[in-house]
Structure 1
């Protein structure tokens, strides 16, 4: 294995090990009580929540745990945004108002289990559970079709599983430097596990920290879920735009940078209605470094489906 992955480039939460986690199997959307809206006083953004002004919080119950969904109401299609490992919905707070204004569409962000205002769920991280949480939230919010996903990093695994299980829900996806199946070969998995051990050891010293908790739960299932993810396929009926950053999550390791970009190229070439976009001058946090590009490609995806 040549190259040294930069510790600095992997400083974003879970950036090495938690590029990950998909387990094969059926996903069942759970039904439950209708989504409960928060009182008016809690609907606007605040320094505590970091949510955009105008977003309404809905607490969704799925299998006994509550999840926070934030809805900026619009008309027509729905844009659903999900961030990478360790990041909650506030990651998108600056982009949501611009996307809502540009498309007129409803914009939904949410806190995955154990992050933000959502309840933690014990045990190893499983993509089936993450997809069930998202499907249940959308169902209870009355969103049944015409959804464009804007998913970053680890959320690429959730997007892939959701697309496989429920392609009719989606009109398209913008995958922002996201996990893609071609990257997770046995060699890459072994390399990530070995590199991430110091991060795991440090996380064990403070396991109650939300980011550490997610890292540790992801590590429990990483090899199995990543191996399964490598075999996953994206449905031909769902258009996808893949934005790949210039530096990737592996800035400082030319070998890993090339493998990451090569995986994006392979994914795009493997099916129809797929486009590859290079995010020049961007780190892995494309939404922070190049929000203009994420906004433009999402606008294009929404417009193409109208």
Structure 2
């Protein structure tokens, strides 16, 4: 089984950000299905959208358009840092992959806000950025609770476009299932998707991730190592459950899959990653598959034009 080298930051993030799975990705329930989902081109006409105003305590920059304001949200005994660039109408929420904090989106937020007029929200999951560390195994239920609590306290409870990269795809799937009325749509950027996680693949991924987990144990206080270790702690039951999650038919979704994938070193595994995205995209209504041509897993960095186009297009879709 080939291993992915840690030759640059985005590959390292793949280890933790995709919650171990990107070391070697396996076939999904889509294998054997050859008809691809509808695919869009990667041109970039920007479309305007608006956002939903937040209702949290004001910072010194409150009320100034285009300025990001820090809002500390308390949920289940810990604080989570939300960063709000205020707009009008709709809300766009950008959720980073594992091991990454809200700064991952810094280059996109100003342009996204300027193009759409939307309120743009990023946040730091526990243990990253300015949020509190929460010890123990990573639980997607807790991550969903943090996101929901933050949006509720900020007053963003409807017409939300959720943008999720990498491991955040797991949060997105559970969040959409439990809170479909809060979302007007989602953009899943090379994200973890349920079809990938068969029992066979889970076993392969756990075995392949062993050396990286052992290395992370030597420096457990590093935020990315901490994320990797907490995810590894209950990886098998978490992803068996995730494999069964169904995306709600009422929430439109654009699925962006990278051409190279996190696993370009293994052509078989890279194709299986793409197959997983195609299977998810054609498994329900109002889903579109978009290939980020020439891009690594780091699509928001490699193809910001494409990511902006798809977010803006989804945010402009009339709410149901």
TM-score when normalising by structure 1: 0.88
Q: Which residue of 1 aligns with 2:204?
A: 191
Ranges in structure 2 where 5+ consecutive residues have no aligned partner: 21-54
CA distance, structure 1, for counterparts of residue 141 and residue 104 of structure 2: 23
Contact 2:15 2:228 in 1 (8 A): no
Question: Could you say what the CA RMSD is over the residues aligned between the two structures, in angstroms?
Answer: 2.1
Alpha-carbon shift at residue 275 of structure 1 (Å): 0.1
Q: Which residue of 2 aligns with 1:30?
A: none
Q: Which residue of 1 aligns with 2:133?
A: 120
CA distance, structure 2, for counterparts of residue 216 and residue 139 of structure 1: 30
CA distance, structure 1, for counterparts of residue 117 and residue 63 of structure 2: 19
Q: Which residue of 1 aligns with 2:34?
A: none
Asked if 1:265 is matched to 2:278, the reply is: yes
Count of residue pairs brought into register by the alignment: 284
CA distance, structure 1, for counterparts of residue 264 and residue 59 of structure 2: 42
CA distance, structure 1, for counterparts of residue 121 and residue 251 of structure 2: 19
Q: Among residues 103, 112, 126, which one is paired with 2:116 in the alignment?
A: 103
Contact 1:282 1:289 in 2 (8 A): yes
CA distance, structure 2, for counterparts of residue 299 and residue 14 of structure 1: 26
Higher relative contact order (CA 8 A, sep 6+): 2
Asked if 1:5 is matched to 2:3, the reply is: yes
CA distance, structure 2, for counterparts of residue 10 and residue 4 of structure 1: 17
Q: Which residue of 2 aligns with 1:152?
A: 165
Asked if 1:164 is matched to 2:180, the reply is: no
1:258-306 Cα shifts (integer Å, max 9, x gaps): 1100000100111000000000010001000000000000111111226
Q: Which residue of 2 aligns with 1:15?
A: 14
Distance 1:72 1:17, change over 3 A: closer
* Runs of at least 4 residues off by over 6 Å: none
Alpha-carbon shift at residue 37 of structure 1 (Å): 4.2
Contact 1:38 1:59 in 2 (8 A): no
Ranges in structure 1 where 5+ consecutive residues have no aligned partner: 22-33, 45-51
TM-score when normalising by structure 2: 0.84
Alpha-carbon shift at residue 178 of structure 1 (Å): 0.3
Contact 1:43 1:57 in 2 (8 A): no
Distance 1:18 1:97, change over 3 A: closer
Q: Which residue of 2 aligns with 1:69?
A: 82
